[in-house]
Amino acid sequence: MMRALKKWGGLLAVAAAFITLAPYAWANNADTYISRGNAKGDRGQYQEAVADYDQALQLQPDNAHAYDHRGFAKFMLGQYQEALADYDQALQLRPDFADATFYRGVAKFKLGQYQEAIADQDQVLQLRPDFADAYAVRGNAKLYLDQYQDAVADLDQALQLQPDNAHAYVVRGHAKVCLGQNQEAIADYNQALRLQPDNVYAYAGRANAKSGLNQYQDAFADLDYALQLQPDYAEAYIVRGHAKFRRGQYQEAIAGYSQAFQLQPDYAGVYFFRGHAKAHFGQYQEAIADYDKAIQRQPDKASAYFLRGNAKAELGQYQEAIVDYDQATQLQPDKAHAYVRRGNAKAELGQYQEAIVDYDQATQLQPGNARAYHGRVLAKLNIDKPRNIFSGYNQALQLQPDFSDDG
């Protein structure tokens, strides 16, 4: 997503300005330690860079740039939580520090804090409306929150500002796949590969889009090449699982997701997709266990609550399913199918009036949703049935006071 050199570039000239300083000046000048840390970061020596920033902060504890650069070095070391702490400190000292806000948002994204990452990028774009990377990061976070159309809009903006951003094409391709626009997604992945011929993410994404078009042979060829480039790329195994899933090979899909799990055990998506496959295989209890783990790792993913609710409903756990549908509709109020499913669960519990409210909401959001109309008709029939029965008995007794069922 970002080039490390971009952060450090241009700072070597600053470091060079201090070459003629006497040793005592070097030892007592915070800016000099920052410059030396930047030069080390430029060479990929992030741990050594952190040591220099530590020294700078001992000399000058209120230096926002030292916190910012140390945060970036920790980010590059994969120490995202520690990076967040440094960015927070930098922003306390300088609230309008766009770079620190941007990278704090990226660290939050890496930690799965997608809503918070979006909030940071919103703030960056208020300060720098033409910052392409901020649109790209925000779009990527929206993708993870299932906000696919909004993700595409952000990535469109990123690519207008930076047409050679291969990663933005890849992420936009992912969002289009989720919208069912597989052909358009393939065009985005192709463009990414023109810019970066060895981009494993583009090969895996293109494979996913091709499998969505039932082009399975081509999809598996893309996945094989992605795994040649990066044998430990978990996403490729996930996409292979998707392809097997689409072919109805649920057991093979589960095996693919499990292989991804071995490589990336903390990735919420692995549990989510494996749970989905298990549910289709009829393993609802096992599916729920996977959805539980996905939600632990990503508590703001509406579709995980929705699918867990579906699995619980299949087991007759309608009250528990309603709780999950409640959470799904809170996170994503515009998804008609969640209201339909919640209406179904309420109808199973005899809560027909409440079910009708859900079906009404679903038809407002999606006027062509046949399941919502069908559910509403059945709920109304169940409400009217007792009244019609009693009305019939009353009419019979008026006509024949000694009327009896017996005969």
374 within a domain of the structure (yes/no): yes
Q: pLDDT at position 221, please? A: 95
Per-residue pLDDT, 66: 94
Domain membership of residue 262 (yes or no) is no
Q: How far is CA 387 from CA 353, 383, 384, 397, in A?
A: 15, 8, 5, 15
Residue 232 lies in a domain: no
Whether 280 has a pLDDT exceeding 90, the answer reads no
What are the backbone angles phi and psi of residue 146, rounded to the nearest 5°? 65, 20
> Residue 375 is part of which domain span?
334-407
Give the chain's domain count.
1
240, with CB counted inside 10 A (0-12, 13-18, 19+), is buried
Q: 37 in the Ramachandran plot: left (φ > 0), alpha (ψ -120 to 50) or beta?
A: alpha
CB neighbours of residue 261 within 10 Å = 20
CATH number at residue 351: 1.25.40.10
Whether 151 is in a domain gets the answer no
List of residues 6+ apart from 127 with CB closer than 8 A: 96, 98, 101
In whole angstroms, give the CA distance from residue 15 to residue 24.
16
The mean pLDDT of the chain is: 87
Q: What is the largest CA-CA distance in the chain?
A: 118
106 belongs to a structural domain = no
The token pair at 315 is 């087991």
Average of pLDDT values for 209-227? 93
- Higher per-residue pLDDT: 244 or 91: 91
> Residue 142 is encoded by which pair of tokens?
């929206």
User: Does residue 376 lie in a domain region?
Assistant: yes
Q: Answer positive or negative: Cα dihedral of 201, 81, 137, 212.
A: positive
Lowest model confidence (mean pLDDT) among 119-123, 129-133, 244-248, 305-309:
244-248
pLDDT category at 17 given cuts 50, 70, 90 is very low
11 to 94, 136, 365: CA distances (angstroms): 20, 25, 53
Q: Which tens digit of pLDDT belongs to each residue from 250-269?
A: 888 888 888 888 888 877 87
| pLDDT for residue 6 is more than 90 | no
Residue 241 pLDDT class (50, 70, 90 cuts): confident
379-390 burial: b if 16+ Cβ within 10 Å, else e:
beeeeeeeeeee
The pLDDT tens digits for 374-407 are 999 999 999 876 554 454 445 444 645 654 444 4
Length of the chain: 407
**Mean pLDDT, range 177-184, rounded to an integer:** 96
Phi, psi of 109 (to 5 degrees): -60, -45
In terms of Cα–Cα distance, which of 75, 70, 73 is closest to 93?
70
Rounded CA gap, 8 and 78, in Å?
Answer: 17
pTM confidence score:
0.68
In a domain, residue 143? The reply is no
The half-sphere exposure of 142 on its side-chain side, counting CA atoms within 13 A, is 24
- 207 pLDDT exceeds 60? yes
Burial (CB count <10 Å: 0-12, 13-18, 19+), residue 93:
middle
Residue pair 365/343 in contact by the 8 Å Cβ criterion: no
